[in-house]
C-alpha cells in the first residue's frame, strides 16, 4: 500500500484542489509508462530489468471517485459518470436509450473546463458541464470513464439495502406495521387548500400542463393531483409535473367514457374573450381556468369581474395551448359533466406506520434468537430499528437483508395470500437481494452479469409501481452500471472498499496534533510501520514470553467475522476445483468406534472407484479378496475447504452446519459430528484421506414440502434468473438421522439454522438458509470464462470446458 499524502482537513477539499496531490502521483508514474524504468538488478535477477507500471483502476467511494477522475457532483444535472442521462430522467431505466460517455469526449470537455476563466467556469457549472479536469489525464493511457469503478460496499449495502429498509419501507419499532403505500421515511406534503387544488385540477383538465412551471404552483398540489390519478408521487416537483404531462397525453381509448360539456364551455368562453363579447353567461369553471392561466388572482373578486377588469390588458400568451384543448383526444375530453370540476377530497391522513414496524421487528428478534450462524458471519444487531442502537455497518446491513429479513418476511407474509400487495412487496425485495448476492460473488461470468442486470432492472421497475411514493435517486441508476464495471474488472470483491476503509480506520487512529502541514503523512507512515514491525515480531513464538502469549494472541486475532475477513480467506483460482486444504492440529491418533467404522466401510464399498472391498476390522471374518479396514484415525478440530472453516458440532455449532451434495442433484442440511483423517490399504496401495461424519436433518413429507413457504418462494427464481439452488432455504424436521460419511468435496457451504414453527406443518421445524458466498452449486452450469478475484484484488481468467 503506497501512502501518497494525507489531506490535513478539517474541511474537505474544494473542487480541483485534489489535483495538487494527484500531481505527485502522476509525476512518479509517467516515466513508468513510457519509456519505462530500468533497474540495474533485482532480488531475482542480477541483470537490468525494465519495469512498466500503470494506474488502473480508481477504487473509492462515489464522492472521491468524482474528485479523482474529474466528474461533476452527484447532484449535478449530468450526475452519472458512465452515461449522459440527465438528472430529471433518473427514473428512466431503459439502458438501451442511455447515451454512454466516451474517453475522447470526456478529455475534450475536461480540457475546456481547465482552459476556462472563472466567470466562464461559473457559467459552465450552471449549465451542468459534464466534466472536470483531473491531473490523471496527463497519463496518456488513462480513461476516466472505464477506469473508475463502483464501490459496491457503499452502493449496494449502505446504499440500496439501507434506503429500501429505512426510506422506502420505514424502520421503527415504535410504529405499527404498514403496507408501504406511504413513504416510510420523511413527511408527505400536507393536503393543499381547496382553492389551490381546484386551480390545479382546472389546469390538468385543460391539458396545458406546461403552465405548472409558469404558475409557480406548489408541490403539495402536484402531489395531490398525482395521488388522485394513481400516478407516482415520489421525486421532486419537476418529476411530478413529468408524471402529469405523461398522464394527459394518454390516448382517449385508455380512459373512461366522458362528456363534452366542459370542453365546449371552455372553447366558447375563450372565443367570447377573443371577440370582446360578454362573459356574463359563461360558466364559472372556464372563467377560473382562464384567470389562472393568465396569472390573474381573484381572491377579492369573482373570475368574471377579474377578467372584465383586465380584459384590455390581456394578450393571448399561448394560442397553441388553447387550441390543444380542442385537439382530441386529451384529458380535457375525459372530464365529468359536473358544474364543479372536482374530485373527491383526499383521504384523511392515516396514522404514521412503517413496513418494518413493531410486529415485523419483533418477529425478526424471535428468529434471530432462534438462529445459529457460522463463526465467520457477523450477526446484525438485536435492536435493529431502535433509535438507541444507531447506525449499522455495511456487513450488518448485508446479513440483515440477505439472511435475516428473507427468513422472517417469507414466514410472516407468505400466508397473506388474499392480499396481493404483500406478495408484490416481498418479490420486489427478494429481486434486490438476489441481484446483490450475485454481484457480491468472488466469481463472475457473462451469464451471471446478465442475471444481475435482469434482476436489478426488474427490482427498479417494480419499485416504481409498488411504491408510488418512493423517490428514485442516483444510486438506483448507478446500480444498473455495476454490470458494466464487472465486465471490465471482474468480481466486485476485488475492488470494493472494505480494504481501503480499513486502512482509513488505521490511519485515523494514529494520534497527530495537525501542527505543521506536510508532516502528518510522515507521522502516520512511521506509526503504521512501527506497528507492523511489532506485529511481525510478536507473531514469532520464540519472541513472546509465555506469560504474554494469551494476551498477544487475543490482540492479534481480532474479530475474524465479516465480509472483509472472508474476502481474504476465500478466492484463489484453485478453490473452484474443490481441493480441500487441511489444517491438522497436533493431536495423537485415536480409534473410530464400531458404528463409525461400519459406516465408513459401507461408504467406501458403495464407491467402487478403487476396485477393493473392505471389511471392518472388528468382524474378524472376511473373504480372501477382502481388505480389513482398521479403526486407527486422526480426529481433526478444523477442516478448511476453499477458505471456509468447518468444525465438529462439539467445537462450534455454527461452523458444523453444512449443506451436503449427497447424490449430485440436491443438497441436504447436516451437522458435522466428527472430522477425521484415515489411511487404508487398497489394490492401489496405501491411501490417506479425510472424511466427515455427519447427521442429516429429517425430511418433510411431500405434502408438507408443498406447504413450505420457502420452497414456494424458491420456485419464483429458476436457474435462468438465479444461479443459486434453493436460494431462500427450506424447512426440515428438527430431528437428526443416523451417521453418514461424506468427503470434503461434497460440502457446498454453511447454512443458517433457525428453529421455528410453521403453519400447516406440525411439530418443531428447522429452517436451513444456504450461505453460499464462495462458489456456486455444481449443478448450476454456466458456460464461458470465469473471472475470479483473489484476496489482493488480482484477477485470474479460468476457462471452463463443458
Three-class SS state of 347 = coil
Please tell me which of 116-130, 205-219, 263-277, 320-334 the model is most confident about, judged by mean pLDDT. Answer: 116-130
Give the model's pLDDT for residue 336: 36
| pLDDT-derived band at 276, boundaries 50, 70, 90 | low
How big is the CA angle at 181 (ends 175 and 183), to the nearest 5 degrees? 65
**β-pair partners for 788:** 443, 796
Helix or strand holding residue 802 (H, E): none
Which one has a higher pLDDT value, 462 or 327? 462
For residues 371 and 752, the answer to whether their CB atoms sit within 8 Å is yes
> Is 532 a residue whose pLDDT tops 50?
yes
Give the model's pLDDT for residue 790: 37
| pLDDT-derived band at 736, boundaries 50, 70, 90 | very high
For residue 479, give Cα distances in angstroms to 93, 140, 749.
10, 29, 28
Give the model's pLDDT for residue 430: 96
Give the model's pLDDT for residue 14: 84
| Cis peptide bond upstream of 130, omega within 30 | no
Structure confidence by residue, pLDDT tens digits, 654-685: 999 999 998 777 899 999 999 999 988 877 77
DSSP state of 101: -
Which one has a higher pLDDT value, 35 or 572? 35
Which one has a higher pLDDT value, 691 or 553? 691
Which of 696, 654, 697, 651 is closest to 674 using CA atoms? 651
% helix, strand, coil for the chain, step of 5: 45, 15, 40
Which one has a higher pLDDT value, 168 or 346? 168
The three three-digit cell numbers of residue 62, written as one number: 462515489
pTM of the model: 0.78
Which of 339, 342, 215, 198 is closest to 282 using CA atoms? 339
Q: Give the list of residues 6+ apart from residue 328 with CB closer than 8 angstroms, or none.
A: 252
> Is 774 a residue whose pLDDT tops 60?
no
Task: Look over the chain and give the mean of its residue pLDDT values, rounded to a whole number.
Answer: 79
CA 694 to chain CA mean position, Å: 35
Taking each helix axis from N to C end, the angle separating 420-439 and 446-466, rounded to the nearest 10 degrees, works out to 150
| Cis peptide bond upstream of 601, omega within 30 | no
Structure confidence by residue, pLDDT tens digits, 144-158: 999 999 999 999 999
Buried b (16+ CB within 10 A) or exposed e, 260-298: eebbebbbbbbebbeeeeebeebbebbbbbbbbbbebeb
> Is 780 a residue whose pLDDT tops 50?
no
Which one has a higher pLDDT value, 90 or 617? 90
Question: For 37-41, what is the mean pLDDT?
Answer: 90
Three-class SS state of 646 = strand
For residue 691, give Cα distances in angstroms to 136, 146, 169, 551, 601.
54, 47, 47, 35, 12
Structure confidence by residue, pLDDT tens digits, 435-444: 999 999 988 9
- Rounded to whole angstroms, how far apart are CA atoms 226 and 238? 12
Domain ranges, ordered by start, for the chain: 19-148, 153-183+351-494, 194-334, 502-567, 572-799
| pLDDT-derived band at 417, boundaries 50, 70, 90 | low
* Other Cβ atoms within 10 Å of 184 Cβ, number: 26
Three-class SS state of 39 = strand
> Is 718 a residue whose pLDDT tops 70?
yes
- Rounded to whole angstroms, how far apart are CA atoms 472 and 450? 23
Three-class SS state of 300 = coil
- Rounded to whole angstroms, how far apart are CA atoms 626 and 209? 90
DSSP state of 171: B
Percent of the chain residues topping a pLDDT of 90: 39
Give the model's pLDDT for residue 323: 43
Give the model's pLDDT for residue 552: 63
> Is 132 a residue whose pLDDT tops 70?
yes
> Is 451 a residue whose pLDDT tops 70?
yes
> Is 513 a residue whose pLDDT tops 90?
no
For residue 602, give Cα distances in angstroms to 133, 229, 698.
71, 70, 21
Number of H helices and E strands in the chain, helices first, is: 28, 22
Give the model's pLDDT for residue 403: 95
- Rounded to whole angstroms, how far apart are CA atoms 365 and 356? 12
Phi-psi label, residue 686: left if phi above 0, alpha if psi -120 to 50, beta otherwise: beta
- Rounded to whole angstroms, how far apart are CA atoms 150 and 59? 7
Hunting for cell 464461458 — which residue is that?
784
Give the model's pLDDT for residue 574: 41
Give the model's pLDDT for residue 255: 40
Question: For 369-374, what is the mean pLDDT?
Answer: 95
For residues 627 and 616, the answer to whether their CB atoms sit within 8 Å is no
- Rounded to whole angstroms, how far apart are CA atoms 101 and 148? 12
- Rounded to whole angstroms, how far apart are CA atoms 82 and 94? 14
For residue 429, give Cα distances in angstroms to 138, 362, 451, 459.
44, 19, 16, 7
Question: For 58-86, what is the mean pLDDT?
Answer: 91
Least confident of 148-157, 460-469, 617-626: 617-626
Percent of the chain residues topping a pLDDT of 70: 75
For residues 423 and 412, the answer to whether their CB atoms sit within 8 Å is no
Q: How far apart are the first and last CA of the chain?
A: 39
- Rounded to whole angstroms, how far apart are CA atoms 521 and 216? 52
Least confident of 69-78, 266-275, 506-515: 266-275
Amino acid at each position: 500500500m503506497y501512502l501518497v499524502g494525507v489531506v490535513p482537513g478539517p474541511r474537505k477539499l474544494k473542487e480541483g484542489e485534489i489535483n495538487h496531490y494527484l500531481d505527485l502521483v502522476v509525476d512518479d508514474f509517467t516515466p513508468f509508462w513510457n519509456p519505462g524504468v530500468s533497474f540495474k538488478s533485482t532480488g531475482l535477477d542480477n541483470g537490468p530489468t525494465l519495469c512498466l507500471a500503470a494506474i488502473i483502476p480508481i477504487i473509492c467511494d462515489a464522492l472521491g471517485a468524482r474528485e479523482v477522475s474529474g466528474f461533476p457532483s452527484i447532484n449535478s444535472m449530468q450526475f452519472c459518470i458512465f452515461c449522459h442521462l440527465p438528472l430529471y430522467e433518473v427514473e428512466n431505466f431503459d439502458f438501451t436509450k442511455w447515451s454512454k460517455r466516451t474517453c475522447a469526449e470526456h478529455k475534450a470537455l475536461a480540457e475546456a473546463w481547465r482552459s476556462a476563466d472563472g466567470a466562464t467556469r461559473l457559467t459552465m457549472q450552471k449549465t451542468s458541464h459534464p466534466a472536470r479536469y483531473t491531473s490523471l489525464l496527463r497519463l496518456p493511457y488513462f480513461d476516466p470513464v472505464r477506469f473508475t469503478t463502483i464501490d459496491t460496499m457503499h452502493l449496494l449495502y449502505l446504499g440500496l439495502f439501507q434506503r429500501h429498509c429505512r426510506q422506502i419501507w420505514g424502520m421503527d419499532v415504535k410504529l405499527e406495521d404498514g403496507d408501504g403505500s406511504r413513504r416510510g421515511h420523511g413527511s408527505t406534503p400536507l393536503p393543499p387548500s381547496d382553492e389551490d387544488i381546484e386551480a390545479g385540477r382546472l389546469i390538468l383538465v385543460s391539458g396545458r400542463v406546461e403552465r405548472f412551471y409558469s404558475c409557480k404552483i406548489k408541490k403539495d398540489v402536484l402531489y395531490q393531483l398525482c395521488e388522485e390519478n394513481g400516478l407516482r408521487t415520489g421525486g421532486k416537483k419537476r418529476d411530478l409535473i413529468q408524471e402529469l404531462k405523461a398522464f394527459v397525453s394518454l390516448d382517449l381509448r385508455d380512459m373512461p367514457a366522458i362528456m363534452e360539456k366542459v370542453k365546449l364551455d371552455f372553447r366558447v368562453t375563450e372565443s367570447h374573450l377573443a371577440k370582446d363579447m360578454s362573459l356574463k353567461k359563461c360558466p364559472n369553471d372556464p372563467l377560473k381556468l382562464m384567470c389562472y392561466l393568465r396569472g390573474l388572482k381573484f381572491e377579492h373578486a369573482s373570475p368574471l369581474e377579474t377578467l372584465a377588469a383586465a380584459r384590455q390588458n390581456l394578450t393571448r400568451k399561448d394560442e397553441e395551448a388553447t387550441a390543444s384543448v380542442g385537439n382530441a383526444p386529451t384529458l380535457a375530453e375525459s372530464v365529468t359533466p359536473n358544474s364543479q370540476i372536482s374530485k373527491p377530497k383526499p383521504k384523511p391522513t392515516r396514522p404514521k406506520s412503517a413496513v418494518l414496524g413493531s410486529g415485523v421487528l419483533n418477529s425478526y428478534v424471535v428468529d434471530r434468537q432462534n438462529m445459529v450462524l457460522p463463526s465467520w458471519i457477523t450477526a446484525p444487531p438485536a435492536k435493529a430499528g431502535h433509535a438507541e442502537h444507531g447506525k449499522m455497518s455495511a456487513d450488518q446491513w448485508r446479513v440483515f437483508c440477505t439472511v435475516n429479513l428473507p427468513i422472517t418476511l417469507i414466514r410472516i407474509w407468505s400466508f397473506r395470500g388474499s392480499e396481493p400487495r404483500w406478495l408484490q412487496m416481498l418479490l420486489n425485495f427478494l429481486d434486490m437481494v438476489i441481484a446483490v448476492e450475485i454481484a457480491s460473488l468472488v466469481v463472475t461470468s457473462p451469464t451471471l452479469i446478465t442475471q444481475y442486470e435482469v434482476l436489478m432492472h426488474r427490482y427498479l421497475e417494480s419499485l416504481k409501481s409498488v411504491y408510488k411514493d418512493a423517490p428514485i435517486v442516483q444510486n438506483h441508476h448507478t446500480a444498473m452500471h455495476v454490470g458494466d464495471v464487472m465486465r471490465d474488472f471482474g468480481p466486485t470483491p476485488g475492488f470494493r472498499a472494505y480494504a481501503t476503509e480499513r486502512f482509513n480506520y488505521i490511519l485515523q487512529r494514529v494520534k497527530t496534533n495537525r501542527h505543521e502541514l506536510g508532516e502528518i503523512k510522515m507521522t502516520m507512515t512511521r506509526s503504521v510501520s512501527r506497528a507492523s514491525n511489532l506485529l511481525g515480531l510478536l507473531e514469532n513464538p520464540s519472541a513472546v514470553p509465555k506469560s504474554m502469549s494469551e494476551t498477544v494472541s487475543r490482540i492479534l486475532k481480532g474479530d475474524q467475522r465479516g465480509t472483509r475477513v472472508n474476502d481474504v480467506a476465500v478466492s484463489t483460482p484453485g478453490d473452484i476445483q474443490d481441493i480441500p486444504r487441511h489444517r491438522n492440529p497436533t493431536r495423537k491418533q485415536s480409534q473410530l468406534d464400531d458404528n463409525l467404522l461400519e459406516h465408513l466401510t459401507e461408504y467406501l464399498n458403495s464407491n467402487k472407484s478403487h476396485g477393493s472391498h473392505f471389511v471392518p476390522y472388528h468382524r474378524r471374518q472376511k473373504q480372501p479378496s477382502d481388505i480389513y479396514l482398521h479403526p486407527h484415525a486422526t480426529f481433526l478440530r478444523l477442516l478448511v475447504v476453499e477458505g471456509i472453516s468447518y468444525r465438529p458440532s462439539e467445537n462450534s455449532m455454527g461452523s458444523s452446519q453444512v449443506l451436503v451434495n449427497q447424490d449430485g442433484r440436491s443438497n441436504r442440511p447436516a451437522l458435522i459430528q466428527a472430522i477425521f483423517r484415515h489411511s487404508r490399504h487398497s489394490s492401489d496401495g496405501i491411501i490417506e484421506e479425510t472424511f466427515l461424519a455427519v447427521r442429516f436433518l429429517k425430511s418433510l413429507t411431500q405434502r408438507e414440502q408443498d406447504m413450505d413457504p420457502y420452497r414456494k418462494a424458491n420456485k419464483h427464481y429458476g436457474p435462468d434468473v438465479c444461479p443459486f439452488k434453493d436460494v431462500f432455504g427450506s424447512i426440515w424436521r428438527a430431528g437428526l438421522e443416523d451417521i453418514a460419511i461424506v468427503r470434503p468435496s461434497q460440502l457446498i457451504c454453511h447454512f443458517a439454522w433457525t428453529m421455528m414453527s410453521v403453519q400447516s406443518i406440525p411439530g418443531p421445524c428447522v429452517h436451513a438458509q444456504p450461505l453460499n458466498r464462495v462458489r456456486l452449486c455444481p449443478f448450476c452450469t454456466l458456460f464461458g470464462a470465469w473471472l475470479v478475484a483473489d484476496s489482493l484484488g488480482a484477477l485470474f481468467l479460468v476457462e471452463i470446458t463443458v
